[in-house]
Structure 1
Amino acid sequence: MVPTYNRRPVLECTIECLLQQEFPEGEYEVVVVDDQSTDDTAEWLAGAAAQNDRLTAIRNPSKGRGQARNAGIRAAHGETICFVDDDVWVVPGFVAAHWAAHQRYGPKAVIVGRLDVSLETAKTIANEYEDERLVRVEERIQAAKDNLHPGFFRTGNVSVRAHFLQEVGGFDEGFTGYSYEDSELGYRLLANGAEFRYAPDAAGEHYTATSTADVLRKQAEAGRSAVTFLRRWPEAVERLSVPFAVPGVPTTAKRDGMIRRVAKWLLLSRPCGLAMGWLMVAAEMAGWKRGSFFLLDWLGWTKYARAFREAARDGCSAG
């Protein structure tokens, strides 16, 4: 199941990989949910689906990732749902590896596949920054193996039995922005007896095509989504990077030390943010990768912290 938005050229490669699997053709389907793309995605999907009866294309109201994935779950006919992002190009044995893992581990298994950095990704500062973050997460998953935390439920490459998804209610559609909607579902699956397993043979390459502006926008959305997540799962507060207290969410962390106060002031300081922004521009122009990564971390955390504080104060959901 693949949700998509305005990525037709990349999606075309994703679908091609999924339709060329080393698995009996009549035993799997590809469901693509177009979340109201404004490019030519809808037209291309309609034509592709007309030529291949294994491909189902759905045009969905633009209500966020969770709603799009739930629409795909409802449209799917298979026993097992594999979630793949529209910028992940899977290996020919991808479906077979997920299927074999479910046969091995049982009806409540959650199979987390491997994500590698695509060699086709352009070498820009923003792309390499995102790729480095992907590599760090993948290293943590490989180190944990079959002792995975539900926070590693990532919809770029994961599979679950359809009946199990239905039992827990699918994705929480209260998350309309980026991040945490997949982790939240992972927590519910675990609470209902899920066993998280790693399947390295169920592999895909992540093709990154982003910009500094997109990286920072996603961090702001993640800050809002984190508040929504913590209101659903307050016991997870100690595992997250929580810059401010959330009303109704208890924590044992100390948040009033001098160092933390100074750090918060620096994160929220407009002059400091402007200065860091100009430094980021200069670092990118100079091709200074490590410095750019540091500044992107700083600016990203600034966006995250501000959005988190606003959401915590306003009591709003992610959006």
Structure 2
Amino acid sequence: MAEHRSIDISVVIPTYNRKRLLEECLDSVLYQDLPGGSFEIVVVDDGSSDGTGLFAGGPGKERDSIRYIKQERRGPAAARNTGAAHCGGRIIAFIDDDCRACPGWLWGMLEAHRLHSSAAAVGGYTLPDPEGGIAQEVSQFLSNSSIEIDCGRGREPIFFPTCNVSLKREIFSRCEFDPSFPFPAGEDLEFFWRLYKQGERLVFDPKIRVVHRRLPGPTAFCRQAYLYGRGNLLVKRLHRDHVLLQELKTGRFGFWAGMLVNMAKIPRFAYCLCRFFARSRGASYGRLKKAGVFFFFCLHKIAYIFGNVAEFCSGRRLPFAAPQLLILDVTHKCNLRCRICDIWKNAGREKDISGRYVRKLLKEAASSGIQEVAFSGGEAMLRSDILDLLACARGLGLKGVGLLSNGIAVRRDFGKLEPFLRDGTAVPVLSLDSLRPELHNYVRDDARAWENSIEALKALADLRKEASGVKFSVISIVFERNLEELEDLYVFARELGACNIQYQPLLANNLKMAERKNAELWVKPGSFGSLERVVERLIARGRSDSGFLRNSEGNLRLFKKYFAGELAPGDCVCSSAGRTVLVANDGYCRTCFSAYGDIRRQSLADILSGPRINEARERVRKCPWPCLLPCFCD
């Protein structure tokens, strides 16, 4: 694990048998205009045999800020992940060993992250080596031209080459490069499309520059284009909705028909790109250079198609890129009539999805590597087969399945639930909105709601003292009358032994989450000062108690804007249909605005790579008033 020292930015350089180029790359980073100690360099040697370790890991005062790590040959994606895991900076920058950072590169990255604090990644502009000839110019032009594209909201970045990009360190706690990519091609295209689909914001700053020194000559040019062809077909198999790969087909007939069409279009492809190439440089070329540029565009397309064919014939399949959190809304039955929720009003008119489909979805979640699964409702514990579903999760090796509850059924069925608590299969998430029984009971519209919740929490705390594998969490709704108690709830949950607490701003309608209306317990303008003060106190506690506060600082600081009705789509990004997938009690995968798949008729992989999910994400990104629920917007 990394020693997280107080440094601003870490630079990760994966390398393989390029000792001479690596030396130039290191020098360009070492002499950046940042004070010593404010950045570090992590070199990951991916199994080199040319003495790279003796150079990069050797002594010398210039090398004091370099950390050298050697691993067995696993490819650049795995090397970048290894480097990121050993970084101590709050920002992680990536540069390739055949690149030179221009002056101001690191400062530009830090400044861009400061100006765009909500951005997950910042990428820059990559220059070809001025001595590299036409081949390098053409290759770099193709790469730079893929960064920004119009996806319906104007031009925006969807991809960055990993030779000139930086990301927030926390990104790597939930999203990393796919290490199963076998070559240095496609892994960056896949990674950033995954981030984009999860709703993360990418920022392109062309003033942040590096020079890319690709290997010279037609042979190296063709080899790189060939690898792009192989890597991009792998990306297409994972993300059938990728906007840069629409011409690629993965079905047997469609693939070969597409290859024939693409071969026939090579002259037109090269001609059009020649015109764009000349226009981008604002220069007029003689006939000889125009012919050279045309030749290399044709050569690129031919080698790229050969790469497509080679990868298609290999039959290789990579693991499906899964969401981080899967929420299964297993029932709308509820044993309370809460004043802050409308779900119970429809419970008698709705039929819950069959356990057969829930078990099918759990199997898909386990096989696809989804990190977190949660059973929600209504009251999840009221589902008659809930223990059978937990047993299914246990049999599949799923751990930490969230069980959202008001505590009544947890306390009632504690003995039946206990085996799943002891082995870590189930993690109850209990609601507690106030330490005053009368207020909690009023909100939940039940005279014993507070008592039941407290008894369930204490039973969990007692069991946790016996079995360290037991985990439970607390969730508190934020509303007008409990603002001054939010910090006390934090202290109570911490002292009780909960794993974490999260705060959820009041929703006007839990059944129609996109709806905003005048709710009885809505935080009013006169209380905004109290809200701001308690938020700052919670943030201070969270900083000194790492991991216990589930909300991020940015999420908490938006509470006031949320209640004031001033929250805009650019303030936060909803990850519904991206990082988080919600399956409603009718079997449909839903956002607040639309359904985009049916687990009763489709596999999860088909739903998440189908065309409707893209439309759903676009609608979510335009939400005029995001909800700030941590599971979606944090």
Q: Could you say whether these structures have the same fold, taking a TM-score greater than 0.5 normalized by the shorter chain as the test?
A: yes
Aligned residue among 8, 23, 29 for 1:18: 29
TM-score (norm 2): 0.41
Superposed CA deviations along residues 106-146 of structure 1, whole A, max 9, x for unmatched, are 14331011111222x344xxxx22322313443564788x9
Q: Which AA in structure 1 matches 2:169?
A: A
Name the residue aligned to 2:161. Answer: 154
Q: Which residue pairs with 2:308 in the alignment?
A: 305
Q: Distance in 1 between matches of 2:185 and 2:255?
A: 26
**Paired AA for residue 173 in structure 2:** Q
Q: Structure 2 counterpart of 1:178, which letter?
A: P
Residue 505 of structure 2 is matched in structure 1 by none
Alpha-carbon spacing, 1:293–1:90, altered in 2? closer, same or farther (3 Å)? same
Contact 2:178-2:191 within 8 A present in 1 as well? yes
1:246 corresponds to which residue?
A: 251
CA contact (8 A) 1:131 1:208 kept: no
- The change in CA–CA distance for 1:85 and 1:262 in structure 2 (over 3 A counts) is closer
| 1:26 counterpart SS class | coil
Cα distance in structure 1, aligned partners of 2:259 and 2:87: 53
Cα distance change, pair 233–143 in 1 and its aligned pair in 2 (3 A) = closer
1:37-68 deviation per Cα after TM superposition (whole angstroms, max 9, x unaligned): 12121211121577522111111210111110
Of the candidates 86, 92, 97, which is equivalent to residue 81 of structure 1? Answer: 92
> Is 1:293 the equivalent of 2:296?
yes
Counterpart mapping for 1:7-156 below 5 A: 7-47=18-58, 52-119=63-130, 121-123=131-133, 128-138=134-144, 141=147, 147-150=155-158, 152-156=159-163
* Cα offset, 1:15, TM superposition: 0.3
CA distance in 2, matches of 1:257, 1:199: 35
Displacement after TM superposition at 1:211 (Å)? 3.6
Letter in 1 for 2:312: R
Q: Tell me the amino acid that sits aligned with residue 181 of structure 1.
A: E
Question: Which of 1 and 2 has greater Rg?
Answer: 2
In structure 2, the CA distance between the partners of 1:245 and 1:45, relative to structure 1 (3 Å rule), is same
Mapped to 2, the partners of 1:40 and 1:14 lie a distance apart of 16
**Secondary structure class of the residue paired with 1:81:** strand
Alignment of 1:262-273 (within 5 A): 263=264
Cα distance change of structure 1 residues 254 and 32 upon mapping to structure 2, 3 Å threshold: closer
| C-alpha distance in structure 2 between counterparts of 1:179 and 1:302, whole Å | 14
SS in 2 for 1:204: strand
User: What TM-score, normalized by structure 1, do the two folds share?
Assistant: 0.77
Q: Take 2:255 and 2:51, find their aligned partners in 1: how far apart are those partners? A: 51
2:10 corresponds to 1:2: no
Q: CA deviation at 1:71?
A: 0.5
Structure-2 change in CA distance of 1:132 and 1:207 (3 Å): same
| Partner SS for 1:29 | strand
> Mind listing any 5+ residue stretches in structure 1 that lack a counterpart?
265-285
Measured in 2, the distance between the counterparts of 1:261 and 1:215 equals 19
Amino acid at match of 1:301: Y
Q: What CA deviation, in whole Å up to 9, does each residue of 1:210-229 have, x standing for no partner?
A: 34333333333333322321
SS in 1 for 2:37: helix
Which stretch of structure 1 is more off in the superposition, 287-296 or 72-81?
287-296
Residue 212 of structure 1 corresponds to 218
Aligned CA distance change for structure 1 residues 95 and 244 (closer, same or farther; 3 Å) = same
> Equivalent residue for 1:173?
179
Cα distance in 2 between the residues matched to 1:258 and 1:74: 40
The CA distance in 1 between the partners of 2:263 and 2:317, in whole Å, is: 27
Partner of 1:267: none
User: Structure 1 residues 96 and 155, CA, compared in 2 at 3 Å: closer, same or farther?
Assistant: same
Change (3 A) 1:304 1:92: same
1:7-61 deviations in whole A, cap 9, x for unaligned? Answer: 1111111100101111121111011111111212121112157752211111121
- State the one-letter code of the partner of 1:293: F
* Alpha carbons 1:32, 1:72 under 8 Å: kept: yes
- The residue type equivalent to 1:246 in the other structure is G
Could you tell me how far 1:245 is from its partner in structure 2? 3.0
Indicate conservation of the 8 Å contact 1:225/1:317, yes or no. Answer: no
Distance 1:216 1:89, change over 3 A: same
Q: Is this contact kept in 2: 1:49–1:55, CA < 8 A?
A: no
Shift of 1:231: 2.5
Structure 1 residues 182, 156: CA separation in 2 closer, same or farther (over 3 Å shift)? same
2:230 aligned partner: 224
Q: Percent identity?
A: 25
Q: Secondary structure at the match of 2:194?
A: helix
* Aligned 8 A contact 2:91 2:166 in 1: yes
Distance of 2:248 and 2:145 partners within structure 1 = 25
